[in-house]
Amino acid sequence: MRVIEASAPGKVILFGEHFVVKGKPAIAVALSPRIHVLVRELEDNRLVIISRDTGYRIVFDPNSLEVVESSGKLLQLRKILEELKSKNKTIKPAYVEITSEIPVAAGLGSSASLAVAFTAAYSRYMGLDLSREEISRIAFEAEKVVHGKPSGIDNTVATFGGAILYEKGSFTRLRVGKIRDYFIIADTGVPRSTRKAVLKVLDLYEKYPDILEHVYNAAEKIVREARRALEKADTIRMGELMNINHGLLSAIGVSGLELEQLVHVARRSGALGSKITGAGMGGSIIALASRDGVNHVYNTLSRYARRLIKASIDWEGVRVEEK
């Protein structure tokens, strides 16, 4: 029985979140936790998709792509199937199993990682040999179903791995030195709303544009400097820039007691740097820790965080295997 498995990494915004809304650059990196999608043949005329971690399940008629059965949030995968059908004219029946090392709604790009892995696995199962650019494009269509107007950062990073610079709608893959230190994602457990956080910051900008303009320009300079630090694998400088970037995010009102606690616990326990990642007003922080100090930082944060993930930069991006 033919079995195809594909996987794609998660992502984190390392520098520049919020400031991209006004055209400033941001840097995102792929992280080692992955979503895995396994596709195997199914004898009856159904396309069955099951997520082992969430319990979500959806069943399609492969001929019409109508939903026969659904529980949970997997409907965006139909968009991918429609894109593949336009290339191949038919969709083959299959059993699809999803397993994930990436938590949902943690700001780590889980929906994009799923879209990329699913596109890569199912297209190969159908006999298509898609380029990475085409895999990313199709995954982006599914991301529109989930997020409305996504930036494209998440699916790009999940597809290509490594680090990218995002600026005014365009992407530049960065040449990064061999960073062997670790990132720790620590979740406050406080629910976040990206929309509310973005609107809050924009309101503040409208009230104090002359002041906030300097904050946004500083954020841009941090990203430019961080790019050079990444290229040289200078994690000391990266950590210092993370700390400065956090100060700007706090200044624009997206921090809070729980986030500040995790940021400063990480620093006190030896992290090279720590900051909010994502929208803020809840959610997670990211800490950069040396190989020698990572376990101490992790164990200390475990007393305060609801959930922790230790990760390294993923250099590979999407991966497909036939078993």
Distance (Å, whole) CA 318 – CA 270:
33
Per-residue pLDDT reduced to its tens digit, 8-29: 999 999 999 899 889 999 999 9
Tell me, yes or no, if 154 is annotated catalytic: yes
- Asked if 3 and 39 count as a contact pair (C-beta separation under 8 A), the reply is yes
Q: Which of 44, 154, 234, 292 is catalytic?
A: 154
Look-up of token digits 């040289």? 232
Give me the mean pLDDT over the 243-268 stretch.
97
Work out the mean pLDDT of the chain and round it to a whole number. Answer: 93
Q: What's the pLDDT at 40?
A: 96
> Residue 194 — very low, low, confident or very high, per pLDDT cuts 50/70/90?
confident
Per CATH, the homologous superfamily of domain 182-311 is GHMP kinase, C-terminal domain (3.30.70.890)
Q: Show the tokens assigned to 322.
A: 């036939």
Domain 3-175 CATH class label: alpha beta
Whether 223 has a pLDDT exceeding 90, the answer reads yes
Per-residue pLDDT reduced to its tens digit, 80-130: 999 999 998 889 999 999 999 988 777 788 999 999 999 999 999 999 999
Share of the chain above pLDDT 70, in %: 99
Question: DSSP characters for 248-273?
Answer: HHHHTT---HHHHHHHHHHHHTT-SE
Q: Where are the domains of the chain?
A: 3-175, 182-311
